[in-house]
Copies of this chain bind each other. A is one copy, B any other.
């Protein structure tokens, strides 16, 4: 349950808005779209759905949405509006073109659901052009400053857990050790949550160095405690492809045989969890409220259970930190 702020009235209510999803898709983008559309229609605002993110925006690929456009999508993974990574949008001229498209259609504002790169595009669009933008954090990685939770993170954690619960069946049956790679190039949010939640023997994340010796020592110690020879080590993918396979090779040099599982793209899809559906619905509806209250160039997120705004500039420039005490808990509990 989120606390939804009561915003001051303003005369800034847009007549028409556009909405797009951008970057890697994440489960919950659909309920976020639904939240925006239903809330906007409720206030008498026209809504245009843009196809394929910024790529569609540039060429004006959008259609007006009504209440029925978002019926029966709340439970669907992926994004109804499709998504894209649009490199062209890094060019100011292309962003200007996008602004022209919106103005020609009398669209006052744009709501962008996506990750860091997508929100950077939104920030530049409004800075350079007279178009209001609101961002929503849509990524499974949870590595967005200004919000405790991103849309899709909870589902990704549950999907990874589901997979690891299955892998543990085999680990226990064969008394074997598995290295399971989860998503997270720059951050260990998924890995740490998954590690605590699956009872991992160890969690390896980009934020902390983990020596192979530490893993070997830890596992040896667990066996002494009578916990059996099986084990799961959760590894965030990090920035170097092949990290987990490399780690397995290093462990092999320490006489510790481990199998590697890379969970990969299954973490992006699937029906959004209840948590993500509620979060996305609240943020989608709030995005419209903030627009109507005259806000611009902000991301709407949730901090300490309160729906709140953060300037996009901060969102882009600052990094969300993995809480140290929280990470230590993952290591403590496996003992």
Contact = CB atoms under 8 A, between A and B. Distances in A.
Interface string A73-111: 011111100111000000000000000000000000000
Interface stretch (A117-125, A248-256, A271-279, A293-301): A271-279
* Residue among A74, A159, A192, A285 with max Cβ neighbours from chain B (10 Å): A74
Nearest to A142: B1
A6 interface: yes
Contacts of A4: 323, 325-326, 329
Contact of A189 (B1, B262, B270): B1
A309 interface: no
B161 A269 contact: no
B1 A323 contact: yes
B197 A281 contact: yes
A199 B70 CA distance: 10
Interface in A253-272: 259, 261-266, 268-271
9 contacts: A1-B193, A25-B169, A42-B335, A67-B227, A78-B168, A165-B271, A281-B329, A285-B332, A304-B305
Interface of A: 1-4, 6, 21, 24-25, 27, 29, 31, 34-35, 38-39, 41-42, 52, 66-68, 71-72, 74-79, 82-84, 148, 154, 157-161, 163, 165-170, 172-175, 178, 189, 192-194, 196-199, 225-228, 259, 261-266, 268-271, 273-275, 277-278, 281-282, 285, 303-306, 322-323, 325-326, 329, 332-335
